[in-house]
Chain A
Amino acid sequence: MDEKRRRFEALAMPHLDAAYNLARWLTRGGAEADDIVQEAMLRAFRSFDGFRGEAVRPWLLAIVRNCHRSALEQKKRHAAAPLDDRDDMETAAEDPTPEANAIRQGDGRELDKALSALPEEFREVVILRELEEMSYRDIAAVTGAPIGTVMSRLARGRALLKAQLTGGSHGM
């Protein structure tokens, strides 16, 4: 293993789970997450020489996000209607949640569905904050949005999520 590969293994590979988790959530559990993570790790490795000791995780996750965006762009160019995306949306949106106040009682699957149903700009900040426990500053670095925008998206995302989980009647 050469030096660059060894450094990458030590500094970037520990965040592979985080990269995969983000890809899965961005694609709403789609199989293309595998391709996105592979592409992202390859890009990260290729530009690793230019990487100068800032935090690795936000840097890597920003690459994952970019790979996801360009995969989406490509999909849009080549197919007018990305069917699998819509399917995901529908399964996520239907299935009424009969119990009120599911926030307290809801199981993980219900929560996963509600998270999947969030529009992407809110979903990504909620995932980065709640599952990766990233700081606002790091979330801003990943998404390329100013911190103020991260804060308002996070507030809106949480409100939407609460509305989803409580049957949509208590939106803020």
Chain B
Amino acid sequence: MACEESLKTQAYLDGELDAGQALEIEAHLEHCAECQALAADHADMKAAMAGATYHRVPAALRAKIGNMLDAEAKVVPLKVPRKTGFWLGAGSGAGGMAIAAALAFLVFMPASSVVNDLAEAHVRSLMGEHLIDVASSDHHTVKPWFAGHADVSPPAEDFKAEGFTLIGGRADYVHGSRAAVVVYRHGAHVINLFTWADRNTRLPGASSRDGYRMVFWKQNDLDLAAVSDVDPGELDRFVALVKKSQSRE
């Protein structure tokens, strides 16, 4: 039968009791055989645990994390609030409430759920919670990263010369499936290029939601969507570039 004081004895042995409580337990220990056994086990365990493996981080991983954080430190300015009216002050409390209100509004939109999913994922990424998992302007870095983190291999070419700079990638969810997201910057705007496996679903035509424009297309067994608040003409130009790079693959 378990002694009622056993947890308190354990706390005493772990050095968690104050002086007054410690005296009480010491008195209890003098006549409780069960707690005496507990104390003996505790000492044994402590000695044994000295032999347990403490996993120190390998030097290569430590360096990798350092580099990742350096890159992330440079990414931060991208997450400044949008200059579109609605997003003014998105970093403030009122802005946060406005975002919550916008998300609540999205939920009740009786429109295609994929459009809603993408709008939400896009807004989430802009809220600075989760824009980029792998930060790099090199598609030789971004593309292989997806091999281990997404179900599809998305196009991830840099179009810097055309004004669309590759800044990284992340894994996200769209419409219940894992999506690879390649992130571009165009001036002050962010473009999220979502790619997920085609499951023979019909995609919506070009759509707008809360000032964000979305263009959908299918190519090479993939469903793709580009989402951004850039000018519609610029988004179309971006989509044309991606399509061209895909057909080269």
Contact = CB atoms under 8 A, between A and B. Distances in A.
Contacts of A13: 66
Contacts of B198: none
Interface string A40-57: 011001100000000000
B51 interface: yes
Contacts of A2: 73
B54 A21 contact: yes
B7 A112 contact: no
A8 B7 CA distance: 37
Interface in A107-123: 107-108, 111-112, 115
Contacts, number: 104
Interface string A1-20: 11011001100010011011
B73 A1 contact: yes
B11 interface: yes
A64 to B, nearest CB: 12
Contacts of A9: 69
A25 B55 contact: yes
Contacts of A46: 72, 128-129
A141 B20 CA distance: 26
B4 to A, nearest CB: 13
Interface in A39-81: 39, 41-42, 45-46, 78
Contacts of A135: 16
A129 B48 contact: no
A5 B93 CA distance: 25
Interface in B1-30: 2, 6-7, 10-11, 14, 16
B68 interface: yes
Contact of B65 (A16, A78, A115): A16
Interface in B184-207: none
A17 B68 CA distance: 17
Interface in B127-149: 128-129, 133, 148
A75 B55 CA distance: 24
Given A21-B56, A130-B52, A152-B7, A41 B68 contact: yes
Interface in B28-71: 41-42, 44-49, 51-57, 61-62, 64-66, 68-70
A147 B148 CA distance: 38
Contacts of B64: 38
Nearest to A158: B45
Query: Which of B7, B57, B148 gathers most chain A CB within 10 Å?
Result: B57
B178 interface: yes
Contact of B52 (A5, A37, A108): A108
Interface string B104-135: 00000000000000000000000011000100
A103 interface: yes
A25 B56 CA distance: 12
Nearest 3 A/B pairs, CB to CB = A108-B51, A20-B57, A24-B55
Interface of A: 1-2, 4-5, 8-9, 13, 16-17, 19-21, 24-25, 33-35, 37-39, 41-42, 45-46, 78, 103-104, 106-108, 111-112, 115, 129-131, 135-136, 151-152, 154-155, 158, 161-162, 165, 172
Interface of B: 2, 6-7, 10-11, 14, 16, 41-42, 44-49, 51-57, 61-62, 64-66, 68-70, 72-73, 76, 128-129, 133, 148, 178
